[in-house]
Amino acid sequence: MVDQGTLDLLIYAGMAIAIAAMTFAALAPRIAGDEVTARIQTATASRTRKVAARTAAEVANARKRAVSETLKELEGRRKNTEKRSLKARLAQAGIDAEPRAYWIASAVSAAVFGIIAFLSTPASIAHLALPLGGVAALVGGLGFPGWMLNFLIRRRQNKFLANLANAIDVVVRGIKTGLPLNECLAIIARESPEPIASEFREVVDQQRVGVTLGEALDRLVVRMPLPEVKFLAIVIAIQQSSGGNLSEALGNLSQVLRDRFGLKLKVKALSAEALASAMVLGSLPPAVIVMLTVTSPTYLQPLFDTKTGNMLVLFGAAWMAFGIFIMKKMINFKY
């Protein structure tokens, strides 16, 4: 027989189980619904994140494609304008003249060099006066004018490069204050030193007659073929085609240009000793020949009177030219 205490305990346990079963039966659908809702929300959030990530990736890829296409277009334009005409070189040097004036000046230079060499030939080698005059005329007509033109181009480009970073800073400050890009370029054309002012004035004038900014900058690259100017044209072209913060991009470009210019000055200072040594070594043999010809005219006469001497002179001149070329390559640093 089961005592009364045990029977009461069994009854209470059965009632508790029954209450728990009814409670679970009542709450089970709601719990299941909450789990389904949570799963749906998790799946929706995951899908939303995937869609957002896919959209961001598509936008980034589209931007990269636009930048790549812009760079390809600019590279194609650069290749088309790679060959510089004489008129373009005169414009790069800041000379407002036609190519005909250059050739006239070259002819005058050839005549002056030839006459000076012919008249200054020593009597001991008078039979070589005409060949020496011809060589001097060739140097004066083709070598000296081209060297002088390249010198003027380099000097003008160095002046342009020295003030380009400051001009870009003017654009950056103008854009940050709300001025349009065209107005910033006009400020540079009015207030910057030469040759920055004249080159950007040309860009502004071309825009006023209907030329697009991209094409005007391409023409600026032709007139001033410097890597820094190409960087400026590329940055503005990319901003116009794909958007972006132009002031930040130009600010970074300005800092890069300052670093490059500082590196250029540092390289120039470090290579000054090597350049001086190359100039001394290159000018020493001609100087010795001139001194010996003046002090002792007959000492070097066998070099010019005999075929063997002529061959030695030609060999020595060719060897000296090769040595000067090697020294120039050794001190011409690329950075």
CB contact at 8 A, 248 and 176: no
Question: In this predicted model, what pLDDT tens digit does every residue of 268-318 receive, in sequence order?
Answer: 888 788 788 878 887 888 888 888 878 887 888 788 778 888 888 888 888
Domain contains 311:
yes
pTM of the model: 0.63
Per-residue pLDDT at 138 exceeds 70: yes
pLDDT in the model for residue 108:
92
Domain contains 295:
yes
Per-residue pLDDT at 1 exceeds 80: no
Per-residue pLDDT at 70 exceeds 60: no
Domain contains 317:
yes
315 compared with 332, residue with greater pLDDT:
315
Number of DSSP helices (H) and strands (E) in the chain, helices first: 13, 0
Segment 252-274 mean pLDDT: 84
| Average confidence score pLDDT of the chain | 78
pLDDT in the model for residue 86:
83
Q: Per-residue b/e over 123-138, b at no fewer than 16 CB within 10 Å?
A: ebbeeebeebbeebbe
What number of other Cβ atoms are within 10 A of residue 145's Cβ?
18
Residue position matching structure tokens 């083709």: 142
The Cα 51–Cα 148 span in angstroms is: 63
Question: In this predicted model, what pLDDT tens digit does every residue of 195-251 receive, in sequence order?
Answer: 899 999 999 999 888 888 888 888 888 888 888 888 888 888 888 777 777 888 888
pLDDT in the model for residue 214:
84
Domain contains 179:
no
pLDDT in the model for residue 153:
92
SS3 252: helix
Domain contains 299:
yes
Domain contains 320:
yes
Domain contains 285:
yes
| Structural domain range at position 292 | 271-335
pLDDT in the model for residue 72:
56
Per-residue pLDDT at 96 exceeds 60: yes
pLDDT in the model for residue 49:
65
pLDDT in the model for residue 261:
82
Q: Which of 275, 109, 70, 247 is nearest to 172 (CA)?
A: 247
Per-residue pLDDT at 74 exceeds 70: no
Segment 256-276 mean pLDDT: 83
Number of domains forming the structure of the chain = 1
Domain contains 314:
yes
Q: Which of 149, 135, 142, 153 is nearest to 109 (CA)?
A: 142
DSSP 136-174: HHHIIIIIHHHHHHHHHHHHHHHHHHHHHHHHHHHHHHH
Rounded to 5°, the CA angle 5-8-14 comes to 140
